[in-house]
A and B are shown apart, each in its own frame.
Chain A
Amino acid sequence: MKRIFGLLTAFALIASACGGSDDGGGDAATADNPVTIDMWIAFSDDARKGFTEEKAAEFNTAHPEYNVVVQSFDSYNTVFEQAALAIDDGNPPELIHFFEAATQQALDAKDKDGNAIFASVTEAIDGRDEILGEPVVIDDVVSAATKYYTIDNQLYSMPWNTSTTTMFSNMGILEAAGISDPPDTWAEVEAACDAIMALPDAPSEGCITWPNHGWFFEQALGQAGADLANNENGRADRATEVFLNSDAALDYVQWWSDLEDAGHYVYTGTQRDWAGTASAFNAGNVAMLVYSSSDTTVLTDTGKENSVDVRSSFMPHNGDAAYAGNLIGGATIWMTSGLSTAEQDGALAFLNFFSNPKNAGDWHKLTGYIPITNAAVAQLESEGWYTESPNSLVASDQLNAAADTPASTGALLGNFVSIRDVVTLAIEDILVNDVDVTERMGSAQSEAQTLLDDYNELNG
């Protein structure tokens, strides 16, 4: 028996030796004992993750009393789940990158004692012009982002990557079909597709594609001026009703389904298939791609590599209804509450450094996300960037194209991520199994309403 206990003790020792602690949250910030700021981001591709790590390293060099540690996850959903688990565990990182759909849930998130998990960034900055020598840029954030993320007249989180849905056209194919400008309305898309598919060497998979993602559905509602939820899209008061089968919603899904039936729209087969739709477009297997403007740079450059002129334009809308505007998508960075002053100032200083005009401009050039502050826009203009790459201006133009209404601002909604899942599942059913649009969106509506009711019961 002794031997066994010996083994177990040895094991316990090994285990405790391997499980070292990673505390760094003391109040005294010195270069010898830097304060660690953990930041979780939802990007793991070389470009975006590399950019963030590079900026963190620059910040750490400029502020040796801090150590910003970037940890990347493979998707928004993963960060969201991991953050929820870390919150459940009572040990979340200082900074977390949440996508727009998680906004309501981040606002409502509470720990076991009922305290809010996240602090308001505006409140924490408290009117300061600079923090640790880094100028505060949060007041200069472009209106497209502030109107989405401002709640109770303050920004709870720091806007970062912000995009909208734009269309990318393979101009080689369009011109061969006698179309000189990308289509702007649904009817024009249909006409263009008829012409393109009649070509002798029509693209092999079809005319147009986009991922089956709830975001596109929400964009279509915004364009038609329809709300996704009551109480002014959840902006006047907590949303208690969701509208998945409004006329505008049914029109869009019906158009989408008809386009698929006509053989023009290509469904790659899986939900949220960003990679599959983009590779079909890059390979020249479809002529047009509705996508996130976040990939403007890489889509344009890939086109150049393959000697294809890729042009970006507004997301097509319903020509029979008044155009009411498109909404943003993307993500912001949330700061957890209960940090020491040193930690909080370090986190805030990093956030403002991260989006200073130069960094925001570089981020835009690297990806296609809109420049997040007005100063960054001005700097890019003075550099002549937009004349050089006109595709990069489309997203900002589209976001500024219509008046501000709750519909074009976007909804604030509990269980939003799950509700999006209900939407994409219903649309997949309609595309693949050809079920009746009105009926299917009706059952999606009642599922989504249950999800919202459940959420409000726990968080209301």
Chain B
Amino acid sequence: MRVREQDNLTMNVGKVGIVRGRDWPRHVSLLLAIAVVVFPLAYAALISTQSNTQINNFQLTPGSSLGTHFDQVWNGANLGRLMWNSVVQAVLITVIKTVLSLLAGLAFVYFSFRGKWIVFFLVLITLMMPTEVMILAMFRLVSDLGLKNSMAGLVIPFAASATGAFLFRQHFANLPKDLSEAAQIDGASPLQFLFKILIPLSWNVIGALAVIQFVFVWNMYLWPVLIVSDPNSQVVQQGLERLKSTDTGITYGPLMLAALLASLPPALVFIALQKPFMSGFAVSADK
């Protein structure tokens, strides 16, 4: 049974969009998958309309508290402001990281220099260096630099990454070799080559990296908690955290509403960047 199903699917990989009439099994399985995956979110949406008493008494119909909850979340917890701070942080990190990663990718692929692979290894290994485990040392450093309670403190430590350098290196290494030869013959400097030729060929990877980075920054929690205590400079996850007060019991409705609202910006970013991302984010396309 299982083999047969895979058989169909693999056929589809081969004949994309050819077999129209036999689409319904895929529709059914996709709908089933979505039912399972989206269930927790739908449940959250239901909860966000109910008061704690209604939740405890199990009610499968929407409650009447959505308005109050929205007021609590938007005005009480100031979620709008916090979300804006997160957007600023995410955009800054994404942009700077993309630029730095492009430069690193350029150096790794289009230059030969002594110690290259050691440097590459040193960069790559930071992929496995969890900021979580050395967060206290990082905190001391950033507060010594006077960056506490500032956007710079939220952005700079995360402005370079192995993920980006790695992705661009892979991408550039897979581009045709004659590109850089032609560019050199034309007398283009490496930066001209990067901006005129490489970047236009890399929008897919840039889009992919943007999605990953945006969500990564959006979900960042431990670090902002340590370095931003000023309520107006805090980020969205800190707002969520305060809504789930543990010592005095959770009021689920506002929390679920806030969680759903907070998941919208990353979802929007994903929808916006889906096309470039999907249309051939090929790590090894021409192999």
Contact = CB atoms under 8 A, between A and B. Distances in A.
Asked if A and B touch directly (CB within 8 angstroms), the answer is yes
Interface of A: 1, 3-4, 7, 11-12, 14-16, 18-20, 22, 40, 42-46, 48, 71-76, 82, 85-86, 88-89, 91, 93, 272, 274-275, 278-279, 282-283, 302, 305-306
A14 B247 contact: no
Nearest to A19: B150
30 contacts: A3-B191, A11-B92, A15-B156, A18-B88, A18-B150, A19-B151, A19-B153, A22-B230, A40-B229, A42-B247, A43-B247, A44-B245, A45-B245, A45-B248, A45-B251, A46-B72, A46-B251, A74-B242, A74-B247, A75-B246, A85-B139, A89-B148, A91-B148, A93-B229, A272-B246, A274-B248, A274-B249, A278-B249, A279-B249, A282-B56
A222 B152 CA distance: 50
A12 B92 CA distance: 11
B249 A22 contact: no
Interface string B127-155: 00000000000011001000111111101
Contacts of B88: 18
Nearest to B250: A275
B183 to A, nearest CB: 17
B53 A305 contact: yes
Interface string B150-173: 111101100000000000000000
A91 B228 CA distance: 12
A285 B135 CA distance: 42
A74 B149 contact: no
Contact of A18 (B96, B152, B231, B248): B152
Nearest to A298: B249
A43 B245 contact: yes
Interface string B210-223: 00000000000000
Nearest to B226: A85
B42 to A, nearest CB: 22
* Most B CB within 10 A of own CB, among A45, A91, A278, A279: A45
A46 B247 contact: no
B205 to A, nearest CB: 19
Main secondary structure of the interface of B (DSSP, over half): helix
Contacts of B246: 74-75, 272, 274-275
B243 A44 contact: yes
Contact of B56 (A4, A22, A75, A279): A279
Interface of B: 53, 56, 72, 76, 88, 92, 96, 99, 103, 139-140, 143, 147-153, 155-156, 191, 195, 225-226, 229-231, 241-251
B165 to A, nearest CB: 15
A193 B230 CA distance: 50
B245 A75 contact: yes
Nearest to A86: B229
Contacts of B147: 19
B72 A71 contact: no
Contacts of A279: 56, 249
A405 B140 CA distance: 43
Nearest to A91: B148
Contact of B76 (A19, A46, A73, A302): A46
Contacts of B243: 44
B152 A74 contact: no
Contact of A4 (B103, B148, B241): B103
* Most B CB within 10 A of own CB, among A11, A15, A279: A15
A37 to B, nearest CB: 14
Contacts of A1: 191
B247 A75 contact: yes
A88 B249 CA distance: 30
A15 B248 contact: no
Nearest to B76: A46
A44 B242 contact: yes
A48 B56 CA distance: 22
Contacts of B103: 4
Contact of B149 (A3, A22, A40, A44): A22
B233 to A, nearest CB: 8
A43 B153 contact: no
Nearest to B231: A71
A403 B10 CA distance: 81
B96 to A, nearest CB: 6
B26 to A, nearest CB: 41
A43 B248 contact: yes
Contacts of A282: 56
Given A15-B151, A19-B151, A82 B191 contact: no
